[in-house]
A and B are shown apart, each in its own frame.
Chain A
Amino acid sequence: MSTVDDSGSVRVLAASGLVKTYGRIVGLDGADFDLMPGEILAVIGDNGAGKSTLIKCLTGAERPDSGTLQLAGQRVDFRSPQDARAAGIETVYQSLAVAPALDIGTNIFLGRERRMKGVLGTVFRKLDIKGMNRDAASKMEALGIGTLQNMSQSVDTLSGGQRQAVSVARAAAFAKRVIFLDEPTAALGVKESNSVLDLILRLRDSGLPVVLISHNMPQVFEVADRIHIQRLGRRVAVVTPKTHSMTDAVAIMTGAVTAS
């Protein structure tokens, strides 16, 4: 089935035989998934191929009806996105999930605020705002998003690309094992898209495997190490930009050609 030999190293995240139905509609029909350490894996597929259902099952937003999930070789069962997050899996949603009225530092730590040490934190519940802002700034800096110096700037004063950067920085700050990016460039212009692609490469170079869900074939072929092709609720092939052309991938995706 797969054209890539993926034996050898332990897979970071793996799924086999995932089935998910919504009434009579079949979202996933025995889908498999493998993510290797330190790679960028693109997930492509036509509308209705089960891409988003697959991602939801992998990030805890949905529970599959059957099939198994393994994280670093261990069986896992995510009941909620919080479970997946606790396991070190972060997702950058297409909607970005930023609160526009709040500032950058607040957004990055939203729902995971850190309190001061000692009595101030335990009794008075005081937040370590300086520390959080410092960490947020250094994370943004590390990802090469140096233009945003002021963590107390509210998000609605930012451009689309900058908001995307905040969202990615948040995920990167907390992702221990995997980061999922759902159509991260869909709303962006050419140059901003390129800087997000750079960001993805830097994430990978920092050792974090990235799953990129995208419709944009040129971008997928530019950054992905491997490409998971989803069709009719299953993984029909895994190809690489080296062995297959964009035309090949689209042909497999639409069912014009069966992967050999």
Chain B
Amino acid sequence: MTAPGVQPRTANEEFAARRQHLGQRIQHFVHGHPWASPLVILIVSVAVFSVLSPQFGTAGNLSLVAQQATVLAAVSAGQVLVLLSGGVDLSVGAVTVLTTFVVGKLAADMGAPGIVALVAGLVAGAALGMVNGFLVAFLKLNPFIVTLGTLSVFTALITLISQGQIVEGSELDWLITLTAQSFIIGGFTVTVGMIVVTVLYLLLAYALLQTAWGRHVFAVGDDAEVSRLLAIRVRRVRLSVYVVAGMIMAVAGWVLIGRTGAVSPQSALSINLDSITAVVIGGTGLAGGRGSIVGAVLGSLVVAVFRNGLFLAGVPALFQDLSVGVLIVVAVTLDMWIRRVRA
């Protein structure tokens, strides 16, 4: 069929022989190691802010940054799970605060024991996640629109339950405010909340990387049609993702109570979008199937570093929000660029 002596190069050979310039190499590396870019961004931003204000680099301030990042990191654990499955959840902050009110009201108004209130919060988180998950997985509605809608619904429920009032931390069981407890290691303040979030991430990483469920989450996010052909129960996987994310929000709520020292309808207002910023900076694509779990932690730290560093550098609050806004646009652009990687 082919002329003798003339062997056309196959795609394999072309592939092996291809030359890459520096940009493509970086693109490939980041494509294969999605945690690399948030790590670089984190190191660079810490260095820059340390130069801008001498206070920034102190152990005291860095542990403050870490504390500020804890709640965001907890919520981002849920967000990264949802994004990996090819969805998105705009209602994460509202779910988190709503679960804190379930816990707070049960404990303070009805005198439920701490453990009972916390478990009820976990169940509430799962139920709220199930609402999102059912609409996305079984009614096949666009997750962006669904969670935009439930964001409004859940926010209204918060107002309804709270009547605009906070529940003071002093009214709550010790177990509920346990996440506020801290101890100092080498001048660095470690809170119980940080430990809770670390354990949360270890569990999530295990579930995503070491179990069949985790592989199916990645597969469904990457290509739902392929997953269906390979007998993965796509709807069940999607539903489970939102339910687990809801339970993670409940844990984030527990950490949030410790962080604010109260149950407040005004807490975690910026977290809906911040969590998407953190996760996308963390190297997780909006298209699903591709991302990094540890990147979500790094991304949360980047957001916290930006907010804290800009504050210390004397930048007005308005420009802090502006910078975080620029950050998400940059992160999404980076995501697009990495996804266009040529095989």
Contacts and interface: CB of A to CB of B under 8 A. Distances in A.
Contacts of B343: 156-159
A76 interface: no
A97 interface: yes
A191 B229 CA distance: 29
B321 to A, nearest CB: 33
B210 A191 contact: no
B217 to A, nearest CB: 11
Contacts of A97: 226, 229-230
Interface residues of B, number: 33
Most chain B CB within a 10 A radius of its CB, from A129, A162, A188, A191: A191
Given A147-B12, A159-B343, A192-B12, A125 B211 contact: yes
A127 B11 contact: no
A119 interface: no
A106 B215 CA distance: 7
A191 B15 CA distance: 14
Interface of B: 1-2, 7-12, 14-15, 32, 210-213, 215-216, 218-219, 221-223, 225-227, 229-232, 289-290, 341, 343
B11 A161 contact: yes
Given A101-B290, A125-B211, A110 B230 contact: yes
Contacts of A102: 215, 218-219, 222, 289
B212 A113 contact: yes
Interface in A158-205: 158-162, 188-192, 195
A81 B229 contact: yes
Contacts of A156: 341, 343
Most chain B CB within a 10 A radius of its CB, from A99, A102, A157: A99
Nearest to A153: B32
A95 B11 CA distance: 18
B230 A100 contact: no
Nearest to B285: A101
User: What are the nearest 7 A-B pairs in CB distance?
Assistant: A111-B230, A113-B212, A159-B11, A191-B10, A101-B289, A101-B222, A99-B222
Nearest to A98: B226
A106 to B, nearest CB: 6
A115 interface: yes
Given A147-B12, A161-B11, A126 B229 contact: no
A126 B211 contact: yes
Given A97-B226, A156-B343, A157-B343, A110 B215 contact: yes
Given A85-B231, A111-B231, A160-B11, 5 more contacts: A81-B231, A82-B231, A97-B230, A110-B232, A159-B12
A131 B64 CA distance: 44
